[in-house]
Amino acid sequence: MNFSRFSKLSAVVLGAVSLLTVSCKNYLDQPPLSSITPDAYLNEESQLGAYAVARYTDILPSHANWSFGTFGYDANTDDMAIPDLDNKYMPGLWRVGATGGDWDFSNIFQVNYFLQKTVPNLQNGRITGTSANIRHYVGEVYFLRAFEYFKKLQALGDFPILRNTLPDQQAALVAASKRSPMNEVARFIISDLDSAALLMQNVAPVGGTNRISKRVAQLLKSRVALYEGTWLKYFKGTAYVPKGPDWPGAGRPEGASYTFPSGSIDGEIDYFLTQAMESAKEVASAVPLVANTGIILSANNENPYFNMFSAEVMSSYSEVLLWRQYNKTLVTHNVPVNAQAGNYAVGLTRSLVESFLMANGLPIYASESGYKGDDYIADVRANRDGRLNLFLKEPGQKNVLLNLAQGSHATEIEPIPMVWESSYEKKYSTGYAIRKGLTYDAAHCGNGQGYTGSITFRAVEAYLNYMEACYEKTGSLDGDALSYWQQIRARAKVSTDVNSTIAATEMSKETADWGAYSANRLITPVLYNIRRERRNELMAEGLRFMDLKRWRAMDQMISTPYHVEGFKLWGPMKAWFTSSQLTYGANVNNAVVSDPALSSYIRPHEIRSNSNSYKGTRWAMAHYLNPIAAQHFVITATDGNATTSSIYQNPGWTTTAGSAPSGY
């Protein structure tokens, strides 16, 4: 072997290797080249706006495709019915989930990350951009946290209050999982809404009413405060309020020693109702109602009150405080198609239709009312509250006035209600269908290709919140309340003489309305008419179930089943249908409608005896709050024993997956 050659080569190899070793250190440092690190973000106005708006669709309600959008949210209440009755009305079928459910914090994490990062920077002025805009966007996120928390408050009541994101450590997370009393949650929401109102402007600087504003925060505050105030009032003395008998929170040290900030539950009720009135008035006194011309069919949509619910652009309607815009290419929904057809099987109930007054202000059963009966839908509409006349569809009416050739799924003429159909796309569940949300422009009627706007907040709710909060707090209506009421009735083309309505109201004839009850007792005619106004004005706007819960308006169905009904099928209107379209019989396999022996009104849940809903709509006390899924107890417990969890279950529910509530 040639040694010198060997050593020369070895030297070269060794040299190369050591060179490579040295250069490896930097060579292997490869940071991301086209990603943004957290330090570099949320430092500038537009970044705040982008973060905030990304949360909107996760948190706020708006139309989704292939449904009746927000107009269908009231399905499964006494207002509207779909063929499938929800399990919550059939005690025994609603069971504790294994995983998931409302005990979810993903939206809360998103907003808390933002607030924790930007609020200190806002105070230090470290964010670039126009101060007003920066403040507005931070305010939006406060608002969004409040809205998310309000959803939790309704679903679960007591709930953990989180102001920051948490570390991924078991002990810290278990400790943070403790539920705070519901009134504390409501106070936390109100404080967020106060922050939001303080930071935001009356109209968003960019995007107008497409974005959240101060007015929206004030409106939501009145809603939350009214919710908590009335809940505490009607559930007082039950396990459903903090410190009440058998309140599950009392089983935890922090619950046992809890004292109300105002000293007593009555103090809390008064506090919330006062807050509700104050914030409702701020909106109601500043935002005028949109005019109603009473015109139903007009190609040029001259009726703003009608058009407000289905306009492509809703900015011009003062009452619309926040709305979501759609676009034929970018984001679409199918509400226009379903509004022209059977409302995606979300049918208006007889109860809601009958709750509307006559135009003269009298209930339909009043001797002087002039009610023509309900043998035909035309009769039902005649001389009624202008809103029923406007929004209840009648066979033979035109649904399309513009661009018929553009809508393959348009329904040009309202047909007889297709009660015999089974698919939601075609079915009329109750025979009554609504016109709210309908556009006469068939350009929106490609299948799933509608792009009318979706209303998220409407100012008239503040008028109604004020009226109710005022009456619940003081037992009477003040001048503002009366004025708001009369403005609403005038716009609805109903006599503004509310006293004659109250005088003519017989509570024993209003029992089909769940809202006629609180805690299994009929309420006073004054309060009932306030609730009636709310029900009629906010028809199909997704607030009904929230109202029923806070009024504790389902107790009466614990012992007595309720029967949801629709139009009077088995009256003269049965002549509209062929006999096969009216196949009935509890044991008839292909029955499509309910048996006339049950009722001359169609009962959408009582067609065949093999359906769980055949025996009617019932209730269980435990159903006022949702159960927390079993897994959450196990993963916050020691040794997987749910009873050691830092979380407690809602009254009546157990911590075992698949179990139905007992005792409530």
Rounded Cα–Cα distance for residues 532 and 340 (Å): 27
Q: Which residue bears the tokens 């499964």?
A: 76
**Footprint of another protein on residues 330-369 (CB under 8 A)?**
330-331, 340-341
Q: Is residue 636 a contact point for another protein (CB under 8 A)?
A: yes
118 lies in the site for another protein, by CB under 8 A: no
**Closest to 416 (Cα-Cα) out of 387, 384, 394:** 394
Per-residue HEC secondary structure of 510-575 comes to CCCCHHHEECCEECCHHHHHHHHHHHHHCCCCCCHHHHHHHCCCCHHHCCCCECCCCCCCCCHHHH
Q: Smallest distance, Å, CB 266 to another protein?
A: 32
245 binds another protein (CB under 8 A): no
Judged by CB under 8 A, the chain residues 483 through 542 that form the site for another protein are none
Q: Which range of residues in 119-127, 226-234, 270-278, 604-612 is near another protein by CB under 8 A?
A: 604-612
- 334 vs 556, which CB is nearer to another protein? 334
- Based on the shown chain and the rule CB under 8 A, indicate whether residue 130 belongs to the binding site for another protein: no
Q: What phi and psi, each to the nearest 5 degrees, are found at residue 100?
A: 70, -145
Stretch that binds another protein, among 347-355, 417-425, 467-475, 503-511 (CB under 8 A): 417-425
> Among residues 11, 22, 54, 297, which is the contact residue for another protein, using CB under 8 A?
54
Q: How many CB atoms lie under 10 A from the CB of residue 190?
A: 21
Site for another protein in 435-464 (CB under 8 A): 446-447, 449
- Which of these segments, 8-16, 249-257, 350-358, 560-568, binds another protein (CB under 8 A)? 8-16
Among 61, 72, 83, 139, binds another protein (CB under 8 A): 83
Query: To the nearest whole angstrom, how small is the minimum distance from the Cβ of residue 57 to another protein?
Result: 5
Cβ pair 373, 381 in contact under 8 A = no
Task: Report if residue 1 touches another protein, rule: CB under 8 A.
Answer: yes
Stretch binding another protein (CB under 8 A), from 49-57, 279-287, 561-569, 595-603 = 49-57
Is 40 exposed, middle or buried, given 0-12, 13-18 or 19+ CB atoms closer than 10 A? exposed
Is residue 210 near another protein by the rule CB under 8 A? Answer: yes
- The residue with tokens 């609180």 is 518
591 binds another protein (CB under 8 A): yes
**Amino acid identity for residue 226 in this structure:** L
CA distances 140 to 53, 207, 376, Å, are: 9, 13, 48
Instruction: Out of 15, 92, 294, 373, name the contact with another protein by CB under 8 A.
Output: 92
Position 106 contacts another protein (CB under 8 A): yes
Helix (H) or strand (E) holding 429: none
State which H helix or E strand residue 631 sits in.
helix 630-635
Reduce the DSSP state of residue 441 to 3 states and report it: strand
Binding mask 298-337 for another protein (x = CB under 8 A): ---------------x----------xxxxxxxx------
Q: How many C-beta neighbours within 10 Å does residue 371 have?
A: 20
Cα–Cα distances (Å) from 355 to 358, 511, 531, in that order, read 10, 10, 10
Quick check: 420 binds another protein (CB under 8 A)? yes
Q: Looking at beta carbons only, is 536 or 594 nearer to another protein?
A: 594
Using rule CB under 8 A, residue 587 touches another protein: no
Instruction: Answer yes or no whether residue 202 interacts with another protein by CB under 8 A.
Output: no
From candidates 123, 245, 405, 559, binder to another protein by CB under 8 A: 405
Q: Which of 44, 86, 425, 555 binds another protein (CB under 8 A)?
A: 425
Cβ neighbours for 613, distance < 8 A, ≥ 6 positions apart:
84, 85, 89, 90, 605, 606
62 binds another protein (CB under 8 A): yes
Options 218-226, 268-276, 386-394, 652-660: segment touching another protein (CB under 8 A): 652-660
Binding residue for another protein (CB under 8 A) from 632, 653, 654, 664?
A: 632
DSSP structural state of residue 207: T
CA 64 – CA 487 distance, rounded (Å): 32
Euclidean distance between CA atoms 655 and 399, whole angstroms: 51
**4 near another protein (CB under 8 A):** no
Count of residues interacting with another protein (CB under 8 A): 127
Q: In the block, which residue shows the tokens 């907040």?
A: 457
- Compute the least distance from the CB of residue 71 to another protein, in Å: 19
| Options 27-35, 255-263, 431-439, 546-554: segment touching another protein (CB under 8 A) | 27-35
Q: Which stretch binds another protein (CB under 8 A): 366-374, 410-418, 493-501, 545-553?
A: 410-418
Q: Enter the tokens of residue 490.
A: 């005038």
Site string for another protein, 140-179 (x = CB under 8 A): --------------------x-x--xx-x-x--xx-xx--
Per rule CB under 8 A, is residue 595 in the interface with another protein?
Answer: no
Q: Which stretch binds another protein (CB under 8 A): 21-29, 122-130, 365-373, 526-534?
A: 21-29
Q: Which stretch binds another protein (CB under 8 A): 118-126, 258-266, 488-496, 631-639?
A: 631-639
Long-range contacts of the stretch 310-316 (C-beta < 8 A, 24+): 310/335, 310/336, 310/339, 310/437, 310/438, 310/439, 310/452, 310/453, 311/439, 311/452, 311/453, 312/451, 312/452, 312/453, 313/453, 314/209, 314/453, 314/455, 315/208, 315/209, 315/210
Q: Is 108 in the site for another protein (CB under 8 A)?
A: yes
Does 50 bind another protein (CB under 8 A)? Our answer is yes
Asked if 49 is part of the footprint of another protein (rule: CB under 8 A), the reply reads yes
Residues near 156 by Cβ (< 8 Å), separated by ≥ 6? 102, 103, 179, 625, 626, 628, 650
Q: Which of 250, 482, 546, 635 binds another protein (CB under 8 A)?
A: 635
